[in-house]
Amino acid sequence: MIPIWVILLIAIVILWIYIWKIVIIPSISVTTDKASYDRSETVQIGGVLSDQTSAGIPGKTVIGAIEDPVGSVFPTIEVVTAADGSFATPWEIPDDAVGGTYTVTVSALGISASKTFSQMIQRVVGLAM
């Protein structure tokens, strides 16, 4: 006869496997197409929303925000994930942007990820004649 604790242990393992397959444990990544930009350039922001098996999660809204070096936050970015869980959106650096390190943060399903990029100050140097 099989002890009751063995039967209970088997039942718990089966239940855990079943729950693991139906519970989504998401992860999110964010990328930019370059590490450094000039004013008025467009930053290509992308990433992937996936589950614990690395399968993409489609049709979910990803919210993003960009913070400049002095702490000002630009208007929210909102994009929906594609069939493979990927997302992409452009963001144009304003003409009056402050030089320094910017942080883009994206969030979906209660998780978030951040990436930094630099905006270089363009200086016009005049030559005296």
Q: Tens digits of per-residue pLDDT, 54-87?
A: 999 999 999 999 999 999 999 889 999 999 999 9
Query: With left for phi above 0 and alpha for psi between -120 and 50, is residue 110 left, alpha or beta?
Result: left
The whole-angstrom separation of Cα 71 and Cα 103 is 10
Q: Tens digits of per-residue pLDDT, 7-47?
A: 889 888 888 777 666 667 899 999 999 999 998 899 999 99
Dihedral (C-alpha) 90, 95, 97, 99: value to the nearest 10 degrees? 100
CATH for 59: 2.60.40.1930
Q: Is residue 125 part of a domain?
A: no
Q: Is residue 127 part of a domain?
A: no
Number of structural domains (the chain) is 1
The whole-angstrom separation of Cα 103 and Cα 84 is 25
Domain hosting residue 37, numbered range:
25-119
The more confident residue out of 125 and 85 is 85
Tokens of 14: 């089966």
Q: Is residue 13 part of a domain?
A: no
Q: Is residue 49 part of a domain?
A: yes
DSSP 60: -
The whole-angstrom separation of Cα 72 and Cα 24 is 34
CA atoms within 13 A on the CB side of 73: 8
The whole-angstrom separation of Cα 43 and Cα 120 is 13
Q: Are 41 and 73 in contact (CB under 8 A)?
A: no
Q: Tens digits of per-residue pLDDT, 91-123?
A: 999 888 899 999 999 999 999 999 999 998 755
pTM: 0.76
